[in-house]
Amino acid sequence: MDDHEKSDGRVVPVRLPNNAQGGAAEAVEGRRPAKGNTTGETRPGRSAGQGVRSELGRVRQVAATDREARFTALLHHVDVDRLRAAYFALSPKAAPGVDGVTWADYGLDLEANLWDLHARVHRGAYRARPSRRVYIPKPDGRQRPLGVAALEDKILQRALVEVLNAIYETDFLGFSYGFRPGRSPHQALDALAAGIVGKKVNWVLDADFSDYFSSLDHRWLVKFVEHRIADKRVLRLIEKWLAAGVIENGSWTAFEEGVPQEHRFLRCSRTSTRTTSLTSGLTSGELVTRMAM
């Protein structure tokens, strides 16, 4: 492990995140307030593809300076350019959803497909598809249920998360690493190691939400999102994904609670709901070292 460093008397990770340039203050563990998230323009990050045009600087500025602000007009930021970048950020080899459409299939007439998707989203005609249920083994021998989203759902979720990141990245605390652009499990572990080496530590707490994705309350998730998001069109999109359900063995099942674990928006919501709890004065202890794959 590299030598540890200190900043303002607080523990810092040895290696800063890739997007810490010009904003290293937030990148270090424990530094308050999150100034590093507000000093530059919104970086697209891997989730929406590199080089996508960004017009979210004003959104980020307002979010950083007014912690009570609720944003009423966000969906227009989900334009064709952002959808295109989200498409190219997807893995071409990713498994298809219930519609069977692969990345290559969609790309055969990409521009027409993206403009059609954009039109449906903005006139309210977009319909979320159910996820395809698959299982992967867990270390304890149990099976982890995943939900493989349809390709257009993946594209739109990535694009919308990019917009929401402009808001939530100003709210997240410096020690939060889970599901954030430009951050990784290695940086979380590096910060933990720096803290153990550089500070007097008597105990280490390793905690996690139990069965978070399978027990998530839809009503409360939307309430947490509404702390910052007041664009009814964005909220309706989120509600459509929550209500889409899953297809397993040819049968459709609704989610009364819980969500498919692989949905990109719902990964983002996990971090945003936890951060809202922390900044609202509720008790929570979790070092998240998992990042979106």
What is the tens place of the pLDDT at every residue in 23-37? 433 444 443 433 333
Longest dimension (CA), the chain: 60
Which pLDDT band, with edges at 50, 70 and 90, does 251 fall under? confident
Distances (CA, A) of 275 to 7, 10, 219, 251: 23, 20, 17, 36
- The reported pTM is 0.69
Distances (CA, A) of 223 to 167, 217, 235, 256: 16, 10, 10, 16
Q: Residue 145: what pLDDT? A: 78
Radius of gyration of the chain (CA): 19
SS percent in the chain: helix, strand, coil, step 5: 40, 10, 50
* Residue 189 parent element (H or E): helix 185-198
**Is residue 73 over pLDDT 50?**
yes
Which of 12-16, 184-188, 221-225 is least confident?
A: 12-16
